[in-house]
Structure 1
Amino acid sequence: MLTGFTKRTIDYYTNMGLLEAERSSSNYRFYDHSCIEKLQYIEKCKQENQSLEQIKKSLQERDAKEIDILELRLKMKGLEKELSQALEQKGDKEVQDLLKKGLSKESFSLIQALLLLLN
């Protein structure tokens, strides 16, 4: 097997909720690349004598953090776009000076967004 794990082990982990699989029309399971990373993580945790329940909780926490980071990135993109549009409309001399100095509009917008969030 590509992962070094038996089909039985992968099925067991899937049934426990440690792995997620897509199903084909003929009911075969398909796993994406993230499952290989999870299998490596599970193996590492097992070597540290963690129980499968501890590993499951750890994976859920890790997934929740990744979702939070993605949501934050989406919010930052939205703020960046809004600021960029507002600054373009305003025609702010400071923005034009920064652009001439080589700071991208996106970087400036991100800085502005971060300053707004910190205030």
Structure 2
Amino acid sequence: MGKAYRIGELAEVTNVSKRTIDYYSQIGLLQPLRTDSNYRLYDEETIHVLGLIEHYKKLNMPLHEIKSVIELVKLKSTENEQVEKYVDQIAEIMKHLEAEIKEIKPIMESLNDKQRELLLNKVSPQGMTLAHSLLLLFG
């Protein structure tokens, strides 16, 4: 298993509150192991999962969608059905991003050139990485 973390240690390492970790465990986003004395222990993979959750939350993705993505990532299966589900999930994420872009477009158009340039500079590296990844995946 590697290093095992109690909830307080995990909260400190990941900068995510114990309350949030507890909630994620309750809804099935995290699967702690239970010790004989009923302590919850979290493995190294949990740190990665929490990073994914935070990433998708920044994209305003609902927790139920995040849970689906994480379940698919954990499967690490190349079976056609699993790959198809994963591609469907990516398509859902893309629809979600498209809706976000449509919402922000009028706001962007109301900004002056300097404000717009500042915002685009923040998004451009991530956008280019995403576009490149999509081309590799679907190209």
- Name the TM-score class by shorter chain: 0.5 to 0.7
TM-score (norm 2): 0.47
Q: Secondary structure at the match of 1:2?
A: helix
Matches within 5 A, 1:64-79: 64=75, 66=76, 68=77
Distance 2:70 2:30 in 1: 9
4+ runs of 1 displaced by more than 3 Å?
none
Unpaired segments of 5 or more residues in structure 2? 1-11, 79-139
Give the paired residue count.
67
Tell me the equivalent position of 2:47: 36
The structural deviation recorded for 1:48 is: 0.4
The structural deviation recorded for 1:38 is: 0.3
> RMSD across aligned C-alpha pairs, in angstroms?
0.9
Q: Note if 1:8 corresponds to 2:19.
A: yes
Tell me the equivalent position of 2:33: 22
Q: Secondary structure at the match of 2:69?
A: helix
Tell me the equivalent position of 1:52: 63
Which structure has the greater CA radius of gyration? 1
Q: Percent identity?
A: 40
Distance 1:33 1:63 in 2: 13
Unpaired segments of 5 or more residues in structure 1? 70-119
TM-score (norm 1): 0.54
